[in-house]
Each structure stands twice: as C-alpha cells, then as structure tokens.
Amino acid sequence: AAWKEETKTAGLGWFFSDFSGPFGNQGKTEQHVLSPLVGEALALRVALLAAKSRGISKLIMKSDSLELINTVNSDNNIMEFYGILHEVRTFASSFSFLRFLHIPRSANVVADNLA
C-alpha cells in the first residue's frame, strides 16, 4: 500500500505469481484510510478476496509490512484495524494452504508500483 497523510488516501496494489511468472496485477484506491498500517491491511484483505474469486486455493501472501505480518500470524489484535484483521483471518480459513510472509521492500517492487 501507498498512503497519503494529507488526503487519507491509500493506493493498494497486489499481484499473483506462479512458476510462469506474475499475473493478475491489480491496483485500487481507498479513501478515508487512517494510517499506512490500515492501508497495508486493506491491501491484504482485497488481495485475499481476489485470490478467492480466481479460485486460488493455495497461497503465500507476502508483504513488506513487518508489523502487519507479525500481527496476522499471531493472536494479537490492533484496534486500529481490528475489523479488517478479523476478516483476513476469516477468509484465511477458506484456503487449503495459506501462509503470510514478510519480505523486504526491495522484493516488493511490483506491488509497490501498482499501489
């Protein structure tokens, strides 16, 4: 996600890839986003929904937001985005395989450019 503090707008970007390479590149803009972390959580949620709508059942979600990945992988809740986190965890149960991994920003250039 990319976030503009002055407008509280976030650009969300995600893509899928397999052994053939990237596909399904998408971006979306969200208004009234309170923080960069909320933007990252929204991007994760919308990417999960996009994967589900494509019929993808096995997925490794990667994000350069360490705080988001640590929160999703734990039992912790952050009130700032509790509802989004609950939805992400609920959607996660519908995949036969799903992992959330942190990657460095330098490895996330495609998604960052889409955002």
The pLDDT tens digits for 64-97 are 889 999 999 988 888 888 888 999 888 888 999 9
Helices (H), ranges, the chain: 36-53, 66-72, 82-92, 109-114
- CATH number for the domain harbouring residue 28: 3.30.420.10
Q: How does 32-65 read in b/e, with b if 16+ C-beta sit within 10 Å?
A: ebeebbbbbbbbbbbbbebbeeeebeebebbbbb
pLDDT at residue 100, as a whole number: 93
Question: What is the rounded distance in angstroms from the CA atom of residue 112 to the CA atom of residue 12?
Answer: 8
Contact 83, 42 (CB under 8 A): no
Over range 42-52, report the average pLDDT: 91
Give me the domain span that covers residue 96: 2-114
User: How many domains are there within the chain?
Assistant: 1
Would you place residue 48 in the very low, low, confident or very high pLDDT band (cuts 50, 70, 90)? very high
Q: Among residues 24, 30, 25, 33, which one has the least CA distance to residue 6? A: 33
pLDDT above 90 covers a percentage of the chain that reads 23
Whether 114 shows a pLDDT value over 60: the answer reads no
The pLDDT tens digits for 2-17 are 788 889 988 888 878 7
pLDDT at residue 98, as a whole number: 94
What is the average pLDDT score of the chain?
Answer: 83
Contact 39, 1 (CB under 8 A): yes
Would you place residue 21 in the very low, low, confident or very high pLDDT band (cuts 50, 70, 90)? low
